[in-house]
A = this chain, B = another copy of it.
Amino acid sequence: MARAKEASSSSSRKSSPIRDTPEGDDNNESSSLSSPSSTTSPLTPPEDDSSPSSSCLLPTPDVAESSEREPESGPLRTKSASGSSRANSLDAKDKEKRKRSRVTPEQLVHLERYFAMDRSPTAARRKEISETLGMQERQTQIWFQNRRAKAKLQDGKSKHRGGVGAGVGGLVDLPPDVPPELSAGFDSNLHNLVHENEPISIIPCTELSVGSWKRIATAVNRHDLVAYVCETRRCLTWFIYSSGYGFKMEIPFEIVIDTKFTNASPGTGLASFTLSRPPTFYLETSPPPGMDPNQRMWKRCGDWTEDMQATKVLRHDLVGSAVQLAHVLRNLSIHSAGSEISLHHPSYRPTPSSSPSPGMHPHHHPQQHHHQPQGYVQSGHDYITSGSSDYYSHERQRSYSTGAVLMNGNAGGGPSSNPPPSNIGSPGYTHISPIPSPNNPNSLQYSDYPPPTTHELDSSSASKRDRSYRPDQDYRNGLSLGGGVPTTTTRRLSYDDPSPSSGSAHSTYSSPSPPVSHQSYQSSSSAYNHWGTTTATGMGMASLPLPSLIHGNGVGGGVAQRLYDLHPNPPSMHRPQLR
């Protein structure tokens, strides 16, 4: 589809490239010449000079001659032009074109954010970015290229120096081997994305649910779900990136009345937080592409979760790094003695339809009941069955997780119409988004689940991403914390029964019911097992396949959408310009 075109267009790179001025030349070959020249080499080069003359004389001698193309260029090439003698004659002339545009500070801010979200945007995505920022596609492509190179360098450096820290590509995998503490902001991109003024500690996580509202980290680099603790401000924060903008809810330590930690799979745990009151919601105030750039700020707003569940449901379940979560809970516990420590350490070689592991009793709030998916049956494809080998090979599997909410409330498959005007920001926001709900089962057919091996989900980038193996981004640091899970003190002050909502099933893997959030209802198909598997794999989240960027409004309908961008119903479109 569209993609193809873009791709093609991109190809034009050279032709139209950067510069408006068609100039082009190219030829280059720079390399060729460079080498020769550099060299020492005696022969050919020398004589060249003579050639110059030739160029003048002849009708069109050599190569490029292209001189025609640019009058302006005089500088460089002029002389050499002739180059007749040496093979590279071409080269000489080449250059010139380089106009070297400069990204504006504003653009830079956005670019960095996009980069933080996805280091290698697809052509389609690049195009959007380009349009949004008013840059040429080629320019954007190059920017990302260089940015990746830069990141890599930095990573390399930091590693050499610091040793551990920053993972390879600037991604922060997980705590290398021994990072008992919360991982700090190792990822500059992430910090940039979150843009907090206070220091924060990132909590690697893959899934967050509040009532039937759920958010699943789509892909490794997507940073569309980030949890962090700010000791300074004494609060926990759930950051969500959707449609190019950020949303977050802050939970002051003080309102956490109870916590519970459950070991989900090796290295992965489920932390449940019970609050005494709803968190505080924020959305980003980002400057329209063209105006005051660096001004991104957090602006307080009303509950942007679907049905405002976060206001109604006071239990938050976060699946993420066991170590990190345990650490967080421990810290919270400091304030008061906690209790309720649930170490559930499922065997790593679970049998496909294993029974729910002990201590993993799903529980959910009353409010969410209406959203409760029911009748889920898992027949199980058992990824798990493969045994330990799967443990690390999960990346090949796709995350079946989800039965998700569509991005901008785009229900079934049609492109989303212009989403409801920003409900966000307005406290009284009533959820309007046409999220596929149980009521509308058709919007999401589980039958559509792609086969396990497939992981293509982003409708917009599917074709292109297919080949995106991208080794460099693939660091799965198994962080095998071993099965052992840190104990956590939990304090329970009240409110609600700590049993997690059934819908969220964070217990993951051993539990037969899919983690799929609210709309998940449904049926029997074996496909539902996937979750268990996913979680089982190392950090679990890493294995989530969905790659592409969210931000898509109308884009692909149906299936693709439901897969990623799961539960975001955040304010769709509050940024008109972002398209």
Contacts and interface: CB of A to CB of B under 8 A. Distances in A.
B474 A77 contact: yes
A89 B391 contact: no
A577 interface: no
A59 interface: yes
A161 B49 contact: no
A57 interface: yes
A448 interface: no
Interface stretch (A299-307, A409-417, A543-551): A543-551
Given A58-B201, A166-B60, A67 B477 contact: yes
Contacts of A244: none
B165 A24 contact: yes
Interface stretch (A11-19, A373-381, A484-492): A11-19
Contacts of A90: 188
B60 A30 contact: no
A158 B64 contact: yes
B199 A15 contact: no
A335 interface: no
A25 B318 CA distance: 26
B42 A480 contact: no
Interface in A445-500: 453-456, 465-480, 482
A135 to B, nearest CB: 15
A499 to B, nearest CB: 27
A70 B468 contact: yes
Interface string A222-243: 0100100011100000000000
B71 A398 contact: yes
Interface string A172-196: 1111111101111111111110011
A165 B476 contact: no
B199 A57 contact: yes
Interface stretch (A124-132, A149-157, A425-433, A506-514): A149-157
Contacts of A295: 41-44
A262 interface: no
A80 B200 contact: no
Contacts of A185: 30-31, 33-34, 53-54, 57-58, 60-63, 84
Nearest to A320: B65
Given A15-B156, A545-B70, A172 B455 contact: no
Contacts of A157: 14-15, 24-27, 55, 66, 69
A294 to B, nearest CB: 4
A202 interface: yes
Interface string A80-115: 111111111111000100000000110011001000
Contact of A27 (B184, B192, B396): B184
Contacts of A60: 164-167, 172-176, 179, 183-186
A465 B71 CA distance: 11
Contacts of A116: 49
A308 interface: no
Contacts of A175: 27, 60-61, 85
A30 B80 CA distance: 42
A208 to B, nearest CB: 14
A67 B173 contact: yes
A184 B468 contact: no
A177 B473 CA distance: 52
B39 A294 contact: yes
Interface residues of A, number: 193
Contacts of A167: 60-61, 64, 86
Contact of A474 (B37, B67, B541): B67
A187 to B, nearest CB: 5
A370 to B, nearest CB: 33
- Most central of A50, A116, A165, A541 by chain B CB within 10 Å: A165
Contact of A294 (B43, B58, B220): B43
Interface string A387-413: 001011111111000000000000000
Contacts of A538: 66-67, 87
A21 B168 CA distance: 11
Contact of A105 (B39, B89, B186, B321): B39
Contacts of A469: 11, 70, 72-77
A61 B162 CA distance: 13
Contacts of A191: 33-35, 44, 48-49, 53-54, 61-63, 84, 87, 89
- Most central of A109, A150, A296 by chain B CB within 10 Å: A109
Contact of A32 (B35, B108, B174, B296): B108
Given A27-B154, A66-B543, A71 B395 contact: yes
B181 A27 contact: yes
11 contacts: A27-B154, A50-B197, A58-B185, A58-B187, A63-B185, A63-B191, A64-B221, A68-B161, A72-B456, A83-B478, A89-B191
By Cβ-Cβ distance, the 4 closest A-B pairs, closest first, are A66-B542, A31-B199, A54-B199, A80-B392
Given A25-B165, A33-B199, 12 more contacts: A23-B164, A24-B179, A25-B176, A27-B157, A46-B109, A53-B199, A62-B191, A65-B205, A67-B476, A70-B220, A71-B397, A88-B192
